[in-house]
Every structure is written in C-alpha cells, then in structure tokens.
A and B are shown apart, each in its own frame.
Chain A
C-alpha cells in the first residue's frame, strides 16, 4: 500500500496518522499484506467462505421487550446532553 492509501484508510477508520509516521505504518501494513498474499495462493475455488470459526449456528431470541428505560444512567456517560438527547458536534448533510 502506498502512503496515500494509508491516509485514506486512516480517514475511513477515524485514526490519526501523522505525516512522520505514514511511511512506517505503510511498511508494517505491507508486511501483514505479504502474509495475506501467501494465503491467496491457496486454491479456494470450491470452498464456501467461512463467516465464523466455530461450526455452530445462531440461536434466535423470542420477540419480547425485556429492556427497561435506562436513559438517565446512559446519558450520564455522555459529555453533552439536552432534553434527553445526546449532543454531538453539528452534523450537516
């Protein structure tokens, strides 16, 4: 990966990577990608992609309301709230 791709990836993941560490990060990631390249050489044409390492399936829950309102407690951990809402820096679409 090129440093410019690293910057884009960091932006998507909301990670701050400063200019002086971009090259180093690119180098580390490329080492991991080299391993992925080795895996890619395996023939997987007739293999169903694995979505979970355990060979078990999901148990479903009956449709019942089991949670009660915890609003006051949950709002406590937010830096800014008003009228029962969480406040965040203004999002403009």
Chain B
C-alpha cells in the first residue's frame, strides 16, 4: 500500500511590540515572574482592554507580505476555556473576521522546483501565561508575564506532503516575519511556536484521513523528527487494521517522543462570541497603502537580488537571504571585501558551523562583518592560504583582534618567495630519494596522486605557510 502524508501548520508568532496587545505592560522576555502583569492582564474586575495599534500594523505587514486580503473590519471574539495561565477564563482572539485573509507562500523543494503553500488566514490574539509544574508542594506556579503578549496565529491549508516541505514552509514563515521585523524569531524563547496537523491517506484517495495535532514545536529539527515519527505511527496503526484517534499530542524535546495530551472525545467547546469589551477595528485603504509602501525587503526579493547583484547560486542565495540578520552580515562582508563568493562560503561554512556548535545566532557572533572581510582580503591577495586562514579565523573568533594583526603577531604570512620555496622543495627531494625514484619511474597517470606526498612534506616543513600553488609549480619542475 502506498500512503500519502498530509500536513498543515498552525504557527504562533509573538509580535515584537514594546507593550502587550490589550495593556501597557512590557512584553520584555526574561523578566522576574509576574513583574510585567498588570491589573488588565490579570483580568481584575472593572478593567477594560485597550488594543495596541502596532500589533495591527504588524499583522497587516504580514498579510501584505503573503499577498493576503486584509480585512478592513476585524472583530475580536472570546474563546472560552479554563486554565490557570489564562486569567480571564477566555482568550481574546479572532474567528469570523480575522485581520488577515487567505494568502500564500512559496517554498523551494529539494528538486529545485517551487511549491505554493496556501495560507488559510492569520488572526491576532493574546498569548497565555506560563504554568510551572516543578514542585511547589503539590501545586503549580503561575507566571503571567507572557499573558497578553500579542500573537498572530498563521493557519496554513493542508498543502504539505512530507516533513521537508513542512519544515521549508516553517522556515519561510520565519524568514518573512524576521525580515519584516515584526518578530524576533527566537524559537528557543518561544517567539515562534508550531503546531503540526498530520494525517495519512492511501495514495489517490481524495478524502483526508483523521488527523492528529502535535503542539508547541519550537525547533525545525524537532518538527522534522516529530512529523516522521507521527507519520510512521499512523501508517503502522492503519496497516494493522486500526483507526487513528483524533487527538492532541505534545512533543517532548528531551526524549524526542510525542504523547497524547487529550483526545477530542471530550471535544473542546469554546463557545466563541464577539467580545463585548472591544469594538470592531476598522482600517482604510490609505492605512494599508502606507504600510505597503514602507514594507522592507522580503526574503524572496532579497534572494533574487543576491543572485543578480552578487552572482550567487540559487542555493547560496536561498540560504543567505532566509534570515535578515545573516543577509545583512553577508552584504556587509561582501561590500567590505569585494568578494561575494568567498563571503558566502565563509558565512555558510566556518561561521555557521561555529554558531551551530555554540548554539548562537549570527547577532551573537564574536566577530564583525568588517573583521571577516579583513580575513577574506588576505585570502584573496594570497597573504594566507585557506588552511592558515582557518587558524586566523579561530583566533578572531577567540577575540584576538583583526586578521592583519593576528597574521603579523603569529607570523602566519604565506611564503610566496620563490627562492624560499625552492629551498624547501629541494630539501624534501633530497631527503626522500626513494620516493623520488618511484615517482620518476611511475606511469603518467599515477603521478598526480604520488605528488601529494611531496606537497604534504613541503607544507609541513613550511608550517603550512608556503603558497600551495607555487609549491606545486616548483615541485613539478624539480621532479621532471
């Protein structure tokens, strides 16, 4: 039997406003518990919500970025349920008249094709607080600092057919909101959280299978693993003659397993109704046009520009344009050193490997674009070889200064002096008479491979500082 996977995403995006969506409390992350929770956030009697204009502007920016229809009249509703981190007993959200209507994003597939993922809608709502389940004498602790933080929830159509497509869509949404500057994109702090709806059906079947929802994934890697596991689980259940229960599952990033949180048998009945505390929000064409005009460059536009301006490959341009901070770092480096290709290689190679290993974002990198450009200039003008450049890079990463001062201080300058290299080559030839004889007697075809031995010895003797091109050239002459 051949199965087809169907995936839809619900993405919670925390908006990077200063204050909350309905109160003047700060939204700063990491504050001491309950120091940013006001009487409005706590839903004290007699308080009224007052909506944040910036949250609307951000939502409209997102809508325009995905070519969505923008609702000129949007309405807040109450979604009623009880949970201790939801102090009002309802979440203020949008249902019938969300601010952002249907739109789409394009994702790049592995085979180089582009696939369009439709966005059903995106609505504004408030975040809940946090429940801390560690032991408080058998009780739970509640921190309401996050309660009322503005969110847009982006709901896609079930247009994705495998885990890589879902991850590509998630990454594209991340790229869009960070490029717009409406979200800091910090997933480990929960600034973007993904719920994944997954079902499987027999290939060719039109009807969707019963789906499960896995909530609160906050890393692309977990998302991919979680989808693969859940698809496998569903297929096994169905092939064993079972049926899929519609349920909500919670993914545990520590154990990499998902478990059932609640089944829909006790189906949630949220009893939505328009919030009587809030009036309809009406915006006009002029407001939308002003926002459209001020939209920053979007990832797709940036990718095209990188290809045109810097002659980058599709692949390089895609990676470097996805994150606004990385894109800026790349452009600043390329402009400062004049070599876009080397800038791209170093950013996608050494820099990103180091950031990954240290779990840092590009903003936290210990070196500046100017410093990286300084190193690239010394590679371009052959002051250092690629191998030595990595040593210099290490030192720069440790904060030891600029490329030039490190090269100077450590005596890492590449030896391009022909006389000095000739001496090295002659020494190695003299000390390895046997290998030289073998080389001279060998087939033409086998020689290039044998040459590596001599190059290795010479580079070793020069402590890696001899110019490799010159070593090759001189060595070939001397071995003739």
A residues bordering B, Cβ < 8 Å?
12, 14, 49, 51-52, 54, 56-58, 60-67, 69-71, 74-75, 80, 82-93
- Least CB distance from B132 to A in Å reads 7
A52 and B139 contact, CB distance less than 8 A? no
For B140, the chain A residues whose CB sits under 8 A away are 87-91
B453 sits at the interface (CB 8 A): no
For B250, the chain A residues whose CB sits under 8 A away are 93
Task: Known contacts A60-B281, A75-B34; decide if A86 and B141 are in contact (CB<8 Å).
Answer: yes
Residue of A nearest to B273 (CB): A51
A58 and B278 contact, CB distance less than 8 A? yes
What are 26 of the A-B contact pairs (CB < 8 Å)?
A14-B82, A57-B282, A58-B278, A58-B282, A62-B53, A63-B18, A65-B18, A65-B25, A67-B26, A67-B36, A70-B38, A71-B35, A74-B39, A74-B42, A85-B33, A85-B132, A85-B142, A85-B143, A86-B141, A87-B139, A87-B140, A88-B139, A90-B138, A91-B83, A91-B84, A91-B133
Kindly list 6 other residue pairs between chains A and B, CB separation below 8 angstroms, not including A65-B25, A90-B133: A51-B75, A57-B280, A65-B24, A65-B26, A66-B19, A91-B133
Task: Known contacts A65-B19, A74-B37, A83-B33; decide if A54 and B279 are in contact (CB<8 Å).
Answer: yes
Residue of B nearest to A51 (CB): B274
B53 and A58 contact, CB distance less than 8 A? no
Chain A facing B: main interface SS: loop
B141 and A82 contact, CB distance less than 8 A? yes
Residue from A57, A64, A84, A89 in contact with B35 in the complex, judged by beta carbons closer than 8 Å: A84
A58 and B281 contact, CB distance less than 8 A? yes
For B138, the chain A residues whose CB sits under 8 A away are 90
B261 sits at the interface (CB 8 A): yes
Q: How large is the interface on B (under 10, 10 to 19, 20 to 34, 35 or more residues)?
A: 35 or more
B139 and A63 contact, CB distance less than 8 A? no
B54 sits at the interface (CB 8 A): yes
Measured CA separation A64–B24 after assembly (Å): 6
B19 and A71 contact, CB distance less than 8 A? no
B411 sits at the interface (CB 8 A): no
Measured CA separation A87–B54 after assembly (Å): 33
B46 sits at the interface (CB 8 A): no
B432 sits at the interface (CB 8 A): no
For A82, the chain B residues whose CB sits under 8 A away are 136, 141
Measured CA separation A40–B36 after assembly (Å): 45
Measured CA separation A85–B471 after assembly (Å): 69
Residues B255-284 near A (CB distance < 8 A): 261, 269, 271, 274, 276, 278-282
For B33, the chain A residues whose CB sits under 8 A away are 83-85
B50 sits at the interface (CB 8 A): yes
Task: Known contacts A67-B26, A84-B32, A84-B34; decide if A12 and B18 are in contact (CB<8 Å).
Answer: no
For A87, the chain B residues whose CB sits under 8 A away are 136, 139-142
Measured CA separation A14–B40 after assembly (Å): 22
B residues bordering A, Cβ < 8 Å?
17-19, 23-26, 32-40, 42, 50-56, 73, 75, 80, 82-84, 96-97, 131-133, 136, 138-144, 250, 261, 269, 271, 274, 276, 278-282
For A86, the chain B residues whose CB sits under 8 A away are 34, 84, 141-142, 144
Measured CA separation A92–B97 after assembly (Å): 34
Residue of A nearest to B144 (CB): A86
Measured CA separation A64–B140 after assembly (Å): 32
Residue of A nearest to B250 (CB): A93
Task: Give me the 4 closest cross-chain CB pairs, A-B, nearest first.
Answer: A66-B24, A85-B141, A63-B54, A60-B53
For A71, the chain B residues whose CB sits under 8 A away are 34-35, 37
Residue of A nearest to B141 (CB): A85
- Least CB distance from A80 to B in Å reads 7
Measured CA separation A92–B250 after assembly (Å): 13
A63 and B42 contact, CB distance less than 8 A? no
Measured CA separation A88–B143 after assembly (Å): 11
Measured CA separation A85–B33 after assembly (Å): 6
> Which of B33, B53, B143, B261 lies at the interface centre, i.e. has the most chain A CB atoms within 10 A of its CB?
B33
For A83, the chain B residues whose CB sits under 8 A away are 33, 141
A74 and B75 contact, CB distance less than 8 A? no
B139 and A80 contact, CB distance less than 8 A? yes
For A57, the chain B residues whose CB sits under 8 A away are 73, 279-282
- Least CB distance from A60 to B in Å reads 4
Residue of B nearest to A60 (CB): B53
Residue of A nearest to B82 (CB): A14
Residue of B nearest to A61 (CB): B50
For A63, the chain B residues whose CB sits under 8 A away are 17-19, 52-55
- Least CB distance from B93 to A in Å reads 13
For B276, the chain A residues whose CB sits under 8 A away are 52
Residue of A nearest to B23 (CB): A67
- Least CB distance from A3 to B in Å reads 17
Measured CA separation A54–B23 after assembly (Å): 23
A61 and B143 contact, CB distance less than 8 A? no
Measured CA separation A87–B85 after assembly (Å): 11
Measured CA separation A81–B283 after assembly (Å): 43
For A74, the chain B residues whose CB sits under 8 A away are 34, 37, 39, 42
For B32, the chain A residues whose CB sits under 8 A away are 84
Task: Known contacts A51-B280, A85-B132; decide if A12 and B271 are in contact (CB<8 Å).
Answer: yes
- Least CB distance from A66 to B in Å reads 3
B271 and A69 contact, CB distance less than 8 A? no
